[in-house]
Amino acid sequence: AQTVTQSQPEMSVQEAETVTLSCTYDTSENNYYLFWYKQPPSRQMILVIRQEAYKQQNATENRFSVNFQKAAKSFSLKISDSQLGDTAMYFCAFMSPQGGSEKLVFGKGTKLTVNP
Amino acid sequence: NAGVTQTPKFRILKIGQSMTLQCAQDMNHNYMYWYRQDPGMGLKLIYYSVGAGITDKGEVPNGYNVSRSTTEDFPLRLELAAPSQTSVYFCASRGLAPNNEQFFGPGTRLTVL
């Protein structure tokens, strides 16, 4: 079974600075997808960024980018120019297209606080 | 589009009571999921469905049941509620492509006393 590990329960960063959230995963599969979800205090789950394992190029979405290291099974999220609205729980998630469910397996999350 | 809707938003149950959490999506998605989120944890999959009439167990199905009679609706039934079922419940849906985003509902906060 796949597992996802987020080793940083909490992090903080000053507004306008850069922060990196770590995520590692365990799988024996070669084809899979990785996601970062944001959960602000409103509780709504919001997709931040996604990465297909077959793509070598790291995904970017405006101020959000990933460092995908397939051999190391690492998938970190970098947030540049942090804003107060980035304060939230961040969940790393893994999805395999095999098995039929295509379910997401989530890490336990990292609580990010952006300080003014 | 309303996306994924869930009702109710909050509920308090007594031990042994039953209830149904409602979930509906208007995006014509085949895949639908129920997750639970316990304090300080990520989401764990309870049940999922790959289309109308097809459901299967996830990681933590005990104490729950689901049905999928239409593409739009995916209700989750709690029978004989227990304190261990106190959690926040999320419904999600997704289209066919594997890299498609899972769209989540706003969640239902359930307390069993």
* DSSP-based three-state secondary structure for B83: helix
Distance to chain B for A34, nearest Cα, Å: 9
Q: Which residues of A touch B99 (CB under 8 A)?
A: 33, 50, 52
**Interacting residues of A67 by C-beta distance below 8 A, sequence separation 6+:** A20, A58, A74, A75, A76, A78
Q: Are B7 and B22 in contact (CB under 8 A)?
A: yes
CA dist B52 and A96 (Å) reads: 22
Q: Are A111 and A89 in contact (CB under 8 A)?
A: yes
- B92 beta partners: B33, B104
Amino acid at A33: Y
- What parts of chain B have a pLDDT lower than 50? none
| B58–chain A Cβ distance below 8 A for any pair | yes
Which pLDDT value is given to residue B41? 85
**Per the CB < 8 Å rule, is A102 touching B98?**
yes
Which pLDDT value is given to residue A101? 66
**Per the CB < 8 Å rule, is A103 touching B107?**
no
Structure tokens at B36: 């639970």
Q: Which residues of B touch A91 (CB under 8 A)?
A: 42-43
Q: Are A2 and A23 in contact (CB under 8 A)?
A: no
Q: Which residues of B touch A4 (CB under 8 A)?
A: 42
Which pLDDT value is given to residue B98? 67
Q: Are B52 and B70 in contact (CB under 8 A)?
A: yes
- What parts of chain A have a pLDDT lower than 50? none
Structure tokens at A44: 């709504």
Which pLDDT value is given to residue B40? 81
Query: Which residues numbered 13-32 in B keep a CB inside 8 Å of some CB on A?
Result: 31
